[in-house]
Chain A
Amino acid sequence: MSDKAAEVQVPFQLQCSVNGELKTIAAPPSTRLLTILRDEMELTGTKRSCEIGRCGACMVLIDGRAVNSCLTMAYQCAGKQITTIEGLSANGLDPIQQAFLEEGGFQCGYCTPGMIVSVKSLLDDKPNPNVDEVAEALSGNICRCTGYGGIWRAVQRAIEGRRYWK
C-alpha cells in the first residue's frame, strides 16, 4: 500500500460547494448526503422519504446531474458542486418553479423539490426534450397526489418558457 493508504486514517472532513458556498463539514465518510443537508445544514427543502433511492424526494444536483442524496455518501461528495432546491431559488424563483406554480404541478408538495431538481437537470442537458426523454428523466420521482397531469403541464411550460426567453 502507498503512503496514501496508511493504516491510520485522519478524521474525515467533507469539503465541497453547497449552493455556491464552499463548506467544510466534519462527518463520518459514509454519512448520507441527505443527513448532512437536512440535519447539519438545515436545508430541509431536500425531503426525506423512502431513503432507498426509489421516490426521488431527496433529489439534488451534484455537478449538475440529478442524484438521490439518500444514496450518496459524504466521501462521494468531496470536491463536488452540490445544488439543492434552495440553491435554485437563491436569486428568486427559478422558471421551472414558476411553471410548477402556474400549472398546479403539485398538491401536497412533498415530492415537488425533487421533481423540480430532476427537471432542472434534464433541461440543462436537453433544453428541448421529447416526451420519452421527459418520462425517463422523471422516472425516479414519485408523486402520490397529482396523477402527474399537472407535472407534465409544468414541464411543458418550463420547456416553452426556455424557448421563449432564449
Chain B
Amino acid sequence: MSMNVQETLTSPLVWHPQTAAEAWQYKQTYGIHSVFVAGGTLLRTHWESGAAPMPQHFIDLSAIRGLNEIRVGEEGLLIGGQSKLQECRTNPLLQRHFPMAVDAIRSIAAPSIRNLATIGGNIASIVGDSVPALLVYDASLIWYNGQTEQEEKLSDWLLAAGQSGYRNDRLLLSLKLPLKSETSRGDRDENSTNSKMKRFGAFHKVGRREAFTPSVVTAAVSGSITDTGLLNKIQIAVGGGQTIPRRLIEVEKEIVGTAVDGEMLRHLFDRALELYEPREDVFASASYRKQTAANLIVTELWKASGRFIGQGG
C-alpha cells in the first residue's frame, strides 16, 4: 500500500545537526519556516489539532552531543535539554536533591509520552507543568545564541517570553538547578525536621482527571520553619493550564520571618488570590483557579506548621 498522498506532499524536510552551532545555523537559514524538534510530542498534537501549521523544516536536536546528559557541574545539577522526561523522573540525582521537580515531571502525561518528550521541550512550551517546581528551585537556563552560551534565570525568561511578539531563536542547551548546601550534604527530604528547623516542600497539580490530565492549577511550595514557629524561608510558584508560571515573590517577602499562625495564613490566602492571574478557559474560570491555588498554598504551609498553628488563632 502506498503512503498517504497528502502526507507525502506536505512532508517537511528534517535536518540533523551534530552541534549546537549547526542547529542554530539552520534556524537562521530557515527562520519562521523551521522549528527545533526534540521529542516533538507537543508539537505533533498542535499540528494534528490544527492549532499550528507544520513548518517546512524540522531541526532535529537528538543528535547533538551532550544534550541528553544529567550531571553535577560546578554550580549545580546540569540537565541537558534533550533529556527525556522519563529519564529525569527516574534519575537518582534529581530524586535525591529535587524531589518536587520529579513529582512535577511524574504528573506530566504518561510514561509512554515521557519516553519521547524532553525537559527542554516542556520548558520551551512556557506553560509546562515542570516549570513551577523549577522556579521554586531557582533554575537557570543555558542558551546558545550562535556565538556563545548565555545563562538566564528561568523566571526572567518567562517574563520576557510572556510579552506579545516575543521571538527566541536561541537553542536551549541545558537547565541548571543550584545545589544548596543542605541538599548537597544529603538532607534530601524536604519534609524533614532537625533540631532547629523543619523543612517542607510539595508540588501539586489539579486537573480534571486523576491521571494523564492537562493541568488546571499547578503549585509548588518550599520553605522552612524554625522551632519557634517562625517562617524562615519560603518559595511559592503557581501556574496551570495556559497560565505562564510565576513566583509569588511579593507575598514571600511579606511573610518570611513572621509567625506561621492563622493571621499569617489568612494574609497569604488573600494575597495569593490577588497575585495569581490565571488564564481561564471553557473548563475552569479564573476565580476557580485562584481559589484552588490559594487553598493549595495555604494548606501546605498549614500542614508544615503542625504544632505551631494553634497558637496564633
Contacts and interface: CB of A to CB of B under 8 A. Distances in A.
B265 to A, nearest CB: 31
Contacts of A5: 15-18, 22, 25-26
Nearest to A73: B40
Given A28-B8, A39-B3, A140 B22 contact: no
Interface string B189-211: 00000000000000000000001
Interface stretch (A64-72, A93-101, A103-111): A64-72
A130 interface: no
Contact of B111 (A4, A62, A75, A139): A139
A54 interface: yes
Contacts, number: 117
A1 B26 contact: yes
Size range of the interface on A? 35 or more
Contact of A71 (B22, B86, B111, B113): B113
A113 interface: no
A73 to B, nearest CB: 6
B13 interface: yes
A106 B113 CA distance: 23
Given A2-B18, A76-B116, 7 more contacts: A30-B11, A56-B110, A71-B45, A76-B60, A139-B211, A140-B113, A140-B212
Interface residues of B, number: 39
Contacts of B3: 26-28, 31, 35, 39-40
Contact of A12 (B14, B22, B40, B44): B14
A39 B4 contact: yes
A52 B45 contact: yes
B7 interface: yes
A150 B225 CA distance: 47
A105 B216 CA distance: 32
Q: Which of A1, A65, A70 has the most CB of B within 10 A?
A: A1
A133 to B, nearest CB: 10
Contacts of B12: 29-30
21 contacts: A1-B17, A4-B16, A5-B22, A27-B3, A29-B14, A30-B11, A31-B3, A35-B7, A39-B4, A51-B48, A53-B41, A53-B113, A56-B110, A67-B112, A70-B44, A72-B116, A76-B116, A136-B106, A140-B109, A140-B113, A141-B110
B49 interface: yes
A75 B14 contact: yes
B58 interface: yes
Given A12-B14, A29-B14, A42 B1 contact: yes
Given A28-B11, A54-B212, A137-B111, A40 B22 contact: no
A136 B114 CA distance: 12
Nearest to A141: B110
A29 B11 contact: yes
B62 interface: yes
A61 to B, nearest CB: 10
Contact of A68 (B49, B54, B86, B113): B113
Nearest to B13: A9
A100 B254 CA distance: 57
A51 to B, nearest CB: 6
A145 interface: no
A9 B11 CA distance: 13
B109 A53 contact: yes
A64 to B, nearest CB: 10
Nearest to B46: A52
Contacts of A73: 14, 40, 44
A85 to B, nearest CB: 14
Contacts of A70: 44
Nearest to A137: B111
A74 to B, nearest CB: 9
